[in-house]
Structure 1
């Protein structure tokens, strides 16, 4: 019989080998479908998206717009100007340009700019990148503009995959070594998490091919973080329970079966809640947010499948020796421990629950006020924590031409009405120049230059005025318009997705906990955590990190992640509390017992998840760094303040009312045959 059980373990491993072999061709292709242009993040209905789609169909295809910048502190010399003219002539001779570049000197004589536009690369991103690099090799000045910025952004996103994965693996490995105190055990969940990440890449590629979901560097990066963070959390829960079962059960297979019966339902419920919360992003209009929903859900579910099938099979095959040197022998008792940290925390919350609850709520409210200090909308040139050449060029232009538009606004109008659209554009306040461009397929392109710097409040007002004056059927796009559309779309998405997430998560909790008060308590707690974490971001983004803007999607994405992940931990705590009440324990004592027995596991899981999201802070994209910081801080607040003190003290105060209107609100329903310890024994940290 034991041999047959071991054969089951080897069979599961063989099945996973087949799964990996089948996934390999698809996982490697995920990078090929990743799109990171600003317009790729926008919905199809946005003006900017319409402009990008129409200009791609005009003669020559999509245009690549660049700005060549020649600058010398103290003023350009005659030799500098001659060099610039000679290099620009060479560019015009080697590449078909839409018009002859004309030098535009700055008032102080320190800078020359040449606007260069070409349809040579078309819509091919590789051809665009080659075009930009060729011009950079030709000219001695800086090359900026939308085309160069897109190339630099693509290279930054392409460079994320390796460092992000390696750093995440290193962080998780260190934490697992500290938690497990074993030279071998830490490697098993880490390998399984890597397999889950590989599988999630293949599934995401299949979803893109089958349902055309948007795939971006941001969404794939977050997916990797989720796989390792959430997957390691599930591994901590399972391994902790498995270790205890090995002391009570002689055979590893039977011990693992008992461990899965004990903690499997809670893990399944928590992962399902997270996945449902992420899928609420499908209601967003923003392509990047809508694509992140299924991508994140895939990561969580792949982590769940791997940690509940592959991890148990590996542990069973390896046997007890994988825990060396702290091997749990059959019939042994765990080493007696002094009073745990979480027992002490629970005692303080139990002695003065009202004072603890009020003090904690006041602290969260005070921290949330920091959100009022969040920097304004993030400009494209501020999206990098480093300074690519395109960003350096834009900063040079901003200093040399402080009151002049240096980035064109693109208008596309039906050819039949293009003459009227051109005159309207020229007459619009804030426009200094408007010229007719290409025509084809019933559309005409008009290039507009604003009187104000790119993405300034004055230029934004000009774009809004253009859209209002030109009316329906005429579209206004370009880089600045894309940023405006992103901000407006993100605001609309918040109004839709936030209530949806709250409703979905609350309903799931009501079903799981069979109560109305407990779910509302958990949801209120995680919303408070989100506000406090965002407030801390407002206090440090600019002053500590030097971030000069906030990504428009930060509020929505951080809300979805913190609510889903925070409720995840709440399920572990409240589920154990409910089990204690079912076994006749009074609610106050049940709350303290639940904290004492699950606190170590939740703390370990919270530390791992926070550390994995903190990896994003070191990435060179401000959007990822801000999102990683807010989620990491929120998870820590949830783990060590809200879950430990506030939820526990509120549960003590409410007593049986926390389970209203369920039967537990009226009195205990003892189940003497039930097993109280349905949650894993805490991991020591």
Structure 2
């Protein structure tokens, strides 16, 4: 009787939890589609305040009534520009000046020296993304695409930003759809049930909705800066990690259904067994992501809390909403493979993993030596990685209008035309600084900003504009402003003008922003990576109550990370034909690969420790591998597949990150967690738990395993 009342109470609790979460989902759901409203993609706003380019922006605001972002409209006729073409460009320029948001009057079209191209510089008011998109769309509508052999493209910083924002604005729909389809297919394959997939997918969607609410209001109130990159990563991270946690809990629940008569009792036991590992896993990812707050780049600092919020929401939903759904579904949620109460040995249900465990026991030392050597060989590909700042023509996986225009500019004009480097110096040293700047290799020309601004050709007799005792010089670079050559020129230019006594020179502009972003990324790698490793070591030490095992696990994950980078370098160069990776790539890849890769070792080793207490270390390693092998492999495949969904976006940076995480997770799952870690732990034996009491405990299971392995040899 009491048991019946208890089951009825348990059912009511589960119903209340599910209904409560459905109400939350109804409120939070619409916000998942509104993140684009509070997203910004202005790279300059992500720079640290102390960066030289940031100081240059502050000085530039004093010299202009309005902040502008230049669009470059380029006309090309390979047979040579005609008088009619010049008239078309001049007429277009007059129409451009009438577009709301364009700061006029515009300078006349600039002819190229080879006579095959014209260029119109169109300053766009402000750096607001929506306005820039609107203006660029109108410029493209006015100019058209091709006029009797005359090609017209809109490029420059404004054209690039408009194309970027257009790509990011399409993230929500296609990426979310692809992610959902990928997760659905894998869940159907894993569970072979027409019903069970609903629970984890519904819980993952609930997690995403909950995370979206918090991210929306934090971004709307300027607590965090949300950009398209963080938005895309949030989507795949929540669905990937959420499905991982669901798989682990459901596998443990199914196991306990064989031992308990009632689903509520089975879930209580499963929750107590799986929750510590899930919480430790999620906590590791959250704290690793929050280490990005140490970054000097606002874009990195934004990604950290945005992704951490996603994981926190996922943990909360997966440990409350999902268990309640499963309890209500009972055993029949697993139909047609309904688990019966039969005290079945879970190892017997995973025959292939029992055989792998047996192989590890017989050849432990050979297994870990060979797998470590294979990972070491993959590391040899690292020199091919080519860490660089991707240029505008390298940024997209498909050819956009801004890319086409930049190629025209590179063919016919000094690369920096329309996007000059700006030099701010004192009035007394302006002439000397201009002479020094002109002598820097890679600088095509230097002219002062006059009261007439940039309109019209330079007047050699015009006096420079002086504001607060300072003068602005504009240096046109020979290379495209987003190229490696232009960045080298900016570094040389800074070194040269900083050496002028009393000049107090500050160099800024589009290329300088890229340079300072690159330097900040390098600094962030050196600071954040060691901190993440320390954080993970502390969490593992607390979870496993040991010191040696955490160091061992971290060493294997770092080895896996380096091997992943080496393999990805070969994939990017020889399969995908990418020119390199962005400066931010190694840090992002490290944070996600190490934080997520350590998850599988947490899932494995927490179960190994649990079994070791009962059976002995070596027997515990084999039991833990046999029981968790299937679910952890499935979880790894799910996470790899969800991150590979980033490949649908036409941005090289996100495609590379998606490929890296997918490859790294598969290496972690198939090689590191299945072979390397179990073999090492088995070979080391109880000492792996040093200095805890478990390291001094030798149970009969260890003796029997050791004797069996010796006889096999």
**8 Å CA contact retained: 2:423, 2:475:** no
Shift of 1:165: 0.5
What pairs up with 1:71-470 in 2 under 5 angstroms? Answer: 71-92=76-97, 97=103, 100-118=106-124, 121-140=125-144, 141-208=152-219, 212-331=223-342, 333=344, 340-377=351-388, 378-401=390-413, 404-411=415-422, 413=424, 419=430, 423=434, 426-430=437-441, 431=443, 432-436=445-449, 442=468, 445-470=472-497
**8 Å CA contact retained: 1:379, 1:549:** no
**8 Å CA contact retained: 1:55, 1:61:** no
Q: Secondary structure at the match of 1:64?
A: strand
Alpha-carbon distance in structure 2 between the residues aligned to 1:421 and 1:165: 56
Is 1:565–2:569 an aligned residue pair? no
Match of 2:49 in 1: 44
Shift of 1:224: 1.2
Q: Secondary structure at the match of 1:248?
A: coil
Shift of 1:296: 1.4
**8 Å CA contact retained: 2:347, 2:627:** no
Match of 1:650 in 2: 680
Compared CA separation, residues 603 and 440, structure 1 to 2 (3 A) = farther
Shift of 1:545: 1.3
**What CA deviation, in whole Å up to 9, does each residue of 1:350-408 have, x standing for no partner?**
2222222222112111111212112351113311111221111001222334x653342
Between stretches 477-486 and 77-86, larger displacement belongs to 77-86
Match of 1:682 in 2: none
Compared CA separation, residues 146 and 309, structure 1 to 2 (3 A) = same
Q: Secondary structure at the match of 1:543?
A: helix
Is 1:3–2:8 an aligned residue pair? yes
Is 1:665–2:695 an aligned residue pair? yes
Compared CA separation, residues 327 and 354, structure 1 to 2 (3 A) = closer
1:601 is aligned, of 620, 631, 647, to 631
**8 Å CA contact retained: 1:219, 1:291:** yes
Q: Secondary structure at the match of 2:475?
A: strand
**8 Å CA contact retained: 1:168, 1:615:** yes
Alpha-carbon distance in structure 2 between the residues aligned to 1:240 and 1:131: 54
Alpha-carbon distance in structure 2 between the residues aligned to 1:552 and 1:576: 38
Compared CA separation, residues 337 and 109, structure 1 to 2 (3 A) = farther
**8 Å CA contact retained: 2:589, 2:657:** yes
Is 1:636–2:657 an aligned residue pair? no
1:518 is aligned, of 530, 543, 549, to 549
Compared CA separation, residues 93 and 165, structure 1 to 2 (3 A) = closer
Compared CA separation, residues 440 and 613, structure 1 to 2 (3 A) = farther
Compared CA separation, residues 179 and 53, structure 1 to 2 (3 A) = farther
Match of 1:64 in 2: 69
Alpha-carbon distance in structure 1 between the residues aligned to 2:288 and 2:564: 19
Instruction: Tell me the matched-pair count.
Output: 667
Alpha-carbon distance in structure 2 between the residues aligned to 1:394 and 1:223: 32
Between stretches 212-221 and 48-57, larger displacement belongs to 48-57
Shift of 1:625: 0.6
Over aligned residue pairs, what C-alpha RMSD do you find? 2.6
Shift of 1:228: 0.6
Between stretches 212-221 and 327-336, larger displacement belongs to 327-336
**8 Å CA contact retained: 2:424, 2:471:** yes
Shift of 1:5: 1.7
Alpha-carbon distance in structure 1 between the residues aligned to 2:593 and 2:681: 21
1:542 is aligned, of 534, 555, 573, to 573
Compared CA separation, residues 421 and 610, structure 1 to 2 (3 A) = farther
Alpha-carbon distance in structure 1 between the residues aligned to 2:305 and 2:98: 48
**What CA deviation, in whole Å up to 9, does each residue of 1:544-602 have, x standing for no partner?**
112123111110111111111111111111112212221142x3332222211111111
Compared CA separation, residues 214 and 388, structure 1 to 2 (3 A) = same
Match of 2:708 in 1: none
Compared CA separation, residues 470 and 53, structure 1 to 2 (3 A) = same
**8 Å CA contact retained: 1:9, 1:316:** yes
**8 Å CA contact retained: 1:422, 1:436:** no
Compared CA separation, residues 617 and 55, structure 1 to 2 (3 A) = same
**8 Å CA contact retained: 1:385, 1:621:** yes
**8 Å CA contact retained: 1:433, 1:450:** no
Compared CA separation, residues 580 and 244, structure 1 to 2 (3 A) = closer
Alpha-carbon distance in structure 2 between the residues aligned to 1:314 and 1:293: 31
Shift of 1:158: 0.6
Alpha-carbon distance in structure 1 between the residues aligned to 2:252 and 2:279: 15
Q: Secondary structure at the match of 1:249?
A: coil
**8 Å CA contact retained: 1:582, 1:670:** no
**What CA deviation, in whole Å up to 9, does each residue of 1:628-654 have, x standing for no partner?**
111110100010011111111111221
Structure 2, gaps ≥5 residues long: 145-151, 454-464, 702-713
Match of 1:683 in 2: none
Between stretches 452-461 and 517-526, larger displacement belongs to 452-461
Alpha-carbon distance in structure 2 between the residues aligned to 1:25 and 1:339: 42
Shift of 1:80: 2.7
2:525 is aligned, of 482, 494, 502, to 494
**8 Å CA contact retained: 2:368, 2:676:** yes
Alpha-carbon distance in structure 2 between the residues aligned to 1:337 and 1:364: 31
> If the length of structure 2 is used for normalisation, what is the TM-score?
0.88
Alpha-carbon distance in structure 1 between the residues aligned to 2:551 and 2:347: 37
Q: Secondary structure at the match of 1:274?
A: helix
Match of 2:38 in 1: 33
Compared CA separation, residues 588 and 335, structure 1 to 2 (3 A) = closer
Alpha-carbon distance in structure 2 between the residues aligned to 1:421 and 1:324: 82
